[in-house]
Structure 1
Amino acid sequence: MAPATQYELSPPPGDAVSSIAFAPAPSTKLLVSSWDKKLYSYDASKPESSLLQTYEHKAPVLDVCFGDDENDAFTAGMDWVVNRINLESGEMTALSKHAAPVRCVAYSKSHGVLVSASWDCSLNLHNIRDPSSTPIRVPLPAKPHALAASSSKIVVAMTGRIINIYDLQAIQTLFSSGGSEIKPWQQRESSLRYLTRAVACMPTDAGYATSSIEGRVAVEWFEDTAESQARKYAFKCHRQAAPDGDGDIVYPVNALVFHPVHGTFASGGGDGTVALWDAEAKRRLKQYQRFPNSIAALDFSGDGKYLAIGVCPGFQTGQEDYTGAGQTSVFIRELGENEAKGKGAK
C-alpha cells in the first residue's frame, strides 16, 4: 500500500483560519474562511496551483458551509450577515442579518434548511429551496459557540454548558405550515465542565461529539433511553506533560470532524496535533506529527480520502497583538486506504 502523502495549499490565507469545508463528494473543492475578510476556494487535490478564487467580505468570515453542490456556499461573519455565494459567478446575496456577529452556519441537504447561529443569542432558519420564504428567528437561552447538522438533527452548543438539539423535520414542517415558533427536540447539559469549543455529528445520525477549551472530548447519542445514555463518555486529550513534571499542560480542542465512511473522528488541538479516534472502541487510532501552530479547523472530503487541516497561532498563546498573518497554513493529508478505519471494522 502506498504511504499517505501530505502537502500544503498555496497561497495560504492572509490571516487566521476560522473554518474549513469540503464540497459534497466527489468534488475536491475546499473552502477556507479567514479573519482577513476573505473566503478562499482551493482544489485540494492539486498541491501546485491549488487556489481557484477568493471572495471578499466586509468583515472577518467566521464560518462557511456548502449548499446542495460544489458551486453553492454560505458564510457567517463579523458583519452580522448570513451570505449565500454562487462560487461560479462570485455573486453574493445576503440571506438574513442578525443583531451581532454570526458565529456558525450549517446546512441540511436532506431538508434544504440552512441554520445560522449568532452571538445575539438566536438562530435564523432559512428555507433555501423557497427563495420567497422569510427566515424564522429562534431565540436561544445563551450565546452559541458551535453548531453541527446530521441528516435529521441540528446540535447547538452554548455558554453555560447548554446543548439544544432541534429536529429538522419539525423545522421543515414549520416552514410549510407558516409557523414561527419551534422548541428544541431536546435540551441537555454538556458532559464537559468547561466551555464547548466544537461539535460534530456522526454520519450514521446516531449522535455527536463535543470538545472543550480544557482538553476533553465527549461522545453522546441522540436516543434518549437509559441504555443509550449510559453509553456516553468523555476523555482527556491534547495534553502534554509539564516540563517540571508537575501535571499536564492542557490545550483547547478547537476542531472535530467525523469520517464520512468509517465513522471514526479527528480532533485538532491548541497543541498543534491532530488525532484520529474510534468512537465505538473508545480508543485513539493515530496521532500525527506536530504542526507548526495550533489546529484551528478540520474537515474530511466527502469521499473520506482527504483530511484538510487549518493551522494558525491560537489565541491561548496570550499575545496582546494577535495576528495569524504569515503564520497560517492549510495542509491536505491524502489518507491511506485503512488509515481512518476503526479497529473493529471489517
Structure 2
Amino acid sequence: MFGSSSSSGNPNGDSELVTPPSETVSSVAWSPKANFIVAGSWDKTVRCWEVQSSGSNVNSVAKAQHTAQAPVLCTDWYDDGSKVFLGGCDKKAFLWDLGSNQAQQVGEHQSGINCISFFRSPTAGELVVTGSWDKTLKFWDVRQPKMVLSHNLSDKVSCMDVKYPLCAVATENKKVTVFNLEQPQNPFKEVETQLKLQTRSVSCFIDKSGFTIGSIEGRVRVEYLNPTSTQQSFAFKCHRDSTKNLAYAVNSMAFHPTHGTFVTAGSDGAFHFWDKDSKQRLKQFKNCSAPITCARFNHTGDLLAYSVGYDWSKGAGSYNEYKSNNHIYIHPTPESEIKSKPKKKGFR
C-alpha cells in the first residue's frame, strides 16, 4: 500500500466515471462551460464524459473517445467547450473536435509534449502554448495553424499552469519561468523554487498574484510574485507518513475557482484541501489504494475529479501490482469542505 492507505480502492465513497482508461491517467480537464470532462492516458486515448450531479448523487455518461499514436500526456479545452487540445509522446499537439470526432495537428516539438494550455489573446487571437521535454516552450496560432513564438528553457518542462495572463512553467532544475501572456516575447520573471528536490506540480492563484509549487519530497511552496508585509512566500510539508519517515510526491494541485483555496493530491493516494491565506489544512481525506495522479475542480467548483493509478513513484518493479488500478472519481465539494476559515497560528 501507499502510505496508510485503506484496503478499499474507493475509501471516500466517491462516484467513479464509467469505462475508465486501461492505463494510468496523465491529465484530467473540465470543460469551461459545462460538466464535461476529458482524461488523457498512457493507453493512448483521450476520453470524454458528461457528468450529471444532484447533491451527493453523481452519474456519468461516456460521450466520445479519440485514440492517438502514442501515450497522451496533457489536455486542455477550447474556450467554448466544443474542442479539446492534447499532446503526448508522439511529440505533436492536436485539436480534437468533439462534434466531428476529427483531430487536426496544431503543433510539434522535438520530444514529448507534457503541457498544453489554450488562451485567447486580445491582440494575437486564439493561441495554444505547449511545453516539452525538449526544453522549449512554444506558442501556436490555432487558426493557421503555425508557430508564432518559441522560448528555449534551462531544462525539461516538468509542469505548467495558465490563468491568463499568468503562465508559470516549471522545469526539472527546480526553476519556474513566469510569463505575462499579454507580452509573451520575454519572460516576466524566473524564480528559484527553494525546494530541495524536483518539481512535480504547479498551480496559479485565481487572482494571478502567484502560484504554488509541489515537489517529489512531499512539500509545497506558496510563491507570491510581489510579496508584501501581509503576503510572504512560504513552504509547508504534506503527503508524508511520519510513522515510516516517508515523503510522497505532490503529483497535482488545483485552485478552487470561487474560494481561492486549493487541493493537493499525491503518491500516497491522498488528497487534501488547503487555505493558503489562513495557512491551514481545511480537510484531509482517506488514502486510496494507489497514487492520485491528477486532481481538478470543475468550472463552478462544486465537483472535484481525481484519477487513481500508478505514477511510477516506486519504479518499474511495482507496475504489475497497480496496472489494473485505474479509476477516475468525482467528489462533490460543499462549501463546508472548501471555503476559507478564520486564520490560525502556524500551518496545520
TM-score with structure 1 setting the length:
0.89
Q: Please report how far the alpha carbon of residue 103 of structure 1 lies from its aligned counterpart in structure 2 after TM superposition.
A: 1.2
Q: Residue 320 of structure 1: SS of its match in structure 2?
A: helix
Query: 1:199-232 CA deviation, whole Å, 9 max, x = no partner?
Result: 0011111111010000000111122x5647x600
Read off the aligned partner of 1:12 and give its amino acid letter. P
- The one of 292, 303, 307 aligned to 1:306: 303
Question: Which one of 7, 25, 28 corresponds to residue 15 of structure 2?
Answer: 7
Instruction: Tell me the SS of whatever aligns to 2:52.
Output: coil
- The answer to whether the aligner puts 1:118 opposite 2:116 as a matched pair is no
Q: Structure 1 residue aligned with 2:37, among 22, 25, 30?
A: 30
* Alignment partners' CA distance in 1, 2:215 and 2:73: 18
- CA 1:5/1:108 → structure 2, altered by over 3 Å: closer, same or farther? farther
C-alpha deviation, 1:317, in angstroms? 2.3
Q: CA deviation at 1:132?
A: 5.5
Query: 1:122 is matched by which residue type in structure 2?
Result: T
Quick one: structure 1 residues 110 and 92, their matched pair in 2 at CA, closer, same or farther if it must change by over 3 Å? same
Corresponding residue of 1:16:
24
* Amino acid of the structure 1 residue aligned with 2:200: R
Identity over the aligned pairs, expressed in percent? Answer: 29
Corresponding residue for 1:295?
292
Which residue among 253, 262, 265 is the counterpart of 1:265? 262
Unaligned runs of 5+ residues in structure 2 are 1-11, 344-348
Q: Which letter maps to 1:236?
A: K
Aligned mates of 1:288, 1:135 — CA distance in 2: 44
Pair 1:326-2:339 in alignment: no
Q: Distance in 2 between matches of 1:250 and 1:110?
A: 40
2:115 paired with 1:138: no
The corresponding residue for 2:83 is 72
State the Cα deviation string for residues 259-284 of structure 1 (Å, max 9, x = none).
Answer: 00000000001110000000111100
Equivalence for 2:94: 83
Residues 41 and 54, structure 1, Cα contact 8 Å, conserved in 2: yes
Q: Distance in 1 between matches of 2:119 and 2:164?
A: 7
**What is the deviation of 1:106?**
1.6
Mapped to 2, the partners of 1:86 and 1:151 lie a distance apart of: 23
- The correspondence of residues 86-165 of structure 1 with structure 2, limited to 5 A, is 86-109=97-120, 112-128=126-142, 130-131=143-144, 133-165=146-178
Q: What's the counterpart of residue 175 of structure 1?
A: none
Taking the aligned partners of 1:30 and 1:208, their CA distance within structure 2 comes to 24
CA distance in 2, matches of 1:308, 1:298: 6
Query: What secondary structure does 1:339 align onto?
Result: helix
* Aligned counterparts of 1:82 and 1:227: Cα–Cα separation in 2: 43
Q: How does 1:32-71 map to 2 (within 5 A)?
A: 32-45=39-52, 47-48=58-59, 50-71=61-82
- Once the two structures are TM-superposed, the CA of residue 5 in structure 1 deviates from its matched residue by 7.1
Q: Report the alpha carbon displacement of residue 109 of structure 1 after superposing the two structures with TM.
A: 4.1
Shift of 1:184: 0.8
Report the equivalent of 1:203: 206
Residues 1:170 and 2:183 aligned together: yes
Q: Which residue identity lines up with residue 38 of structure 2 in the other structure?
A: L
Q: In structure 2, what is the Cα distance between the partners aligned to 1:110 and 1:207?
A: 20
- Bigger drift between 252-261 and 50-59 goes to 50-59
Aligned 8 A contact 2:174 2:197 in 1: yes
CA distance in 2, matches of 1:97, 1:110: 21
Greater mean alpha carbon deviation, residues 182-191 or residues 12-21: 182-191
Q: CA deviation at 1:320?
A: 2.8
Paired residue secondary structure (1:160): coil
Question: What is the distance in 1 between the residues matched to 2:179 and 2:229?
Answer: 22
Q: What letter matches 1:336 in structure 2?
A: P
Using a 3 Å threshold, how does the CA distance of structure 1 residues 159 and 319 change in structure 2: closer, same or farther?
closer
1:239 maps to: 240
SS of residue matched to 2:101: coil
* DSSP 3-state at the match of 2:336: coil
